Amino acid sequence: MRRIIDSIRPGRDEEIHRTRRAAATAEQRHAQARQTAIATQGILR
């Protein structure tokens, strides 16, 4: 969901892109960590 204000300010696009990319990476790492934890628990039981 993009706001019109974002496209008016120059340099803001790159900032948003970087933030979104960082958020996506963090989300991916979190999902990976959860998968690992679930797998490890399965082995330990």
* Distances in whole angstroms, Cα of residue 20 to Cα of each of 14, 17, 43: 10, 5, 35
CB 30 within 8 A of CB 38: no
Give residue 7's pLDDT: 58
Give residue 12's pLDDT: 77
The count of structural domains within the chain is: 1
Tell me the whole-structure pTM to 2 decimals: 0.56
Residues of the domain holding 39:
4-44
Q: pLDDT tens, 1-45? A: 555 655 566 677 888 899 999 999 999 999 999 999 999 988 876
Question: How many CA within 13 A on the CB side of residue 9?
Answer: 10
Give residue 13's pLDDT: 82
DSSP 9: S
